Copies of this chain bind each other. A is one copy, B any other.
Amino acid sequence: MRFFSDNAAPAHPRVLEAIAAANRLDTAYDGDEWSQRLDGAFSDLFGTEVRAFWVTTGTAANCLALAALCPPYRSILCHRDAHIEVDEAGAPGFFTGGAKLVLLDGAGAKVTPETVAAVCDGIRDDVHQVQPAALSITNATEYVLVYHAAEIAALGELAKRRGLAFHMDGARLANALASSGEAIADVTWRAGVDALSFGFVKNGGLNAECMILFRTELADEVAVRRKRAGHLLSKGRYLAAQILAMLEDGLWLDNARTANAAAKRLAQAAPQRLAYPVEANEIFLKTTDEEADALRAQGFDFYEWGPGQIRFVTSWNQQDEDVNRLASAIAAL
């Protein structure tokens, strides 16, 4: 029974159907009818004009955004546990041409205006020190803490005041919104976000992610950077079709709700063991090595998250039976 990663889950059947339906002769790259509908579909979703770029990985979405927002000779502020810092093989350095990540502290991988301001204040404003150009947060965070609209707006306001662009890694934005019930516009552009990596693959997609640009004047540059990075697929319609299927009838939110619910059920099995509040679809449990082994012996698959901590991730198609079994097993530890 796999609770290892939401990347391990299959694609949702409606996503596969959309791919099959797109399997027709059309125009190459992003000139096809599906790709051409993306900007409109997301502009409708966000309630403002946006430009949407399909890509195949969150790393590509994140780094194309960062490259457009930060010149090579400046830096991006992010949490020290941010995916762009610890799990993307240095991709931000590659895409930006050498920009730095400057690391922020904060419980549960969450940053606050205070930590951002303090780090900025410690940077001398001269040519010797690298000046910050952008702030990047992950929502939900790497420990699935959810940023609420007001928190993001406070960061956005600070970013604006300090001349920082504002990027959101939304690999699990669907889970965050399914959890908070807040409006997608309120946690993104209305809160000052300039570019968003909107995750679909962890949430039932097959291999399509989307980068949403609220600063539409950067779209031409991003389009070129996408091509130049080898991310302009020649049959882009299969990516666009996946994304449109995820948006249709709110499939993206439904999937996220299912995954969140499974995590919540697990969390309730052992509230005293939680390393972090379970606000979305991951739970981090404090266990001994023996306890972890015992769970493994019962056929549960998960990730060891440092010493004395294990991580379970639930997905859109987590089976109720498996979840119940795991909940019982955790409770019985």
Asked if A229 and B94 make an inter-chain contact with CB atoms under 8 angstroms apart, the answer reads yes
Complex contacts, A97 vs chain B, CB 8 Å: 72, 94, 97-98
Asked if B11 and A201 make an inter-chain contact with CB atoms under 8 angstroms apart, the answer reads no
Asked if A228 and B56 make an inter-chain contact with CB atoms under 8 angstroms apart, the answer reads no
- Decide: A91 near B229, CB < 8 A? Known: A10-B25, A11-B23: yes
**Which A residues have a C-beta under 8 Å from some C-beta of B?**
2, 4-5, 7-11, 16, 19-20, 23-29, 55-60, 63, 71-75, 86-91, 93-101, 127-131, 201-202, 206-207, 221, 223-235, 238-239, 317
Asked if A99 and B88 make an inter-chain contact with CB atoms under 8 angstroms apart, the answer reads no
Complex contacts, A60 vs chain B, CB 8 Å: 230-231
Asked if A28 and B8 make an inter-chain contact with CB atoms under 8 angstroms apart, the answer reads yes
Complex contacts, A10 vs chain B, CB 8 Å: 23-25
Copies of this chain: 4
A308 to B19, CA, bound (A): 38
Asked if B25 and A9 make an inter-chain contact with CB atoms under 8 angstroms apart, the answer reads yes
Asked if A128 and B88 make an inter-chain contact with CB atoms under 8 angstroms apart, the answer reads yes
A16 to B19, CA, bound (A): 8
A157 to B228, CA, bound (A): 30
Asked if B23 and A8 make an inter-chain contact with CB atoms under 8 angstroms apart, the answer reads no
A23 to B16, CA, bound (A): 9
Smallest distance from the beta carbon of A201 to chain B beta carbons, Å? 6
Question: Besides A72-B93, A88-B227, 13 other CB < 8 A contacts?
Answer: A16-B20, A58-B234, A88-B228, A88-B230, A89-B228, A90-B98, A90-B100, A94-B98, A95-B230, A96-B98, A127-B227, A206-B235, A229-B230
A164 to B96, CA, bound (A): 23
A16 to B235, CA, bound (A): 14
Complex contacts, A225 vs chain B, CB 8 Å: 73
Smallest distance from the beta carbon of A42 to chain B beta carbons, Å? 20
Smallest distance from the beta carbon of A1 to chain B beta carbons, Å? 10
A221 to B28, CA, bound (A): 31
Complex contacts, A317 vs chain B, CB 8 Å: 25
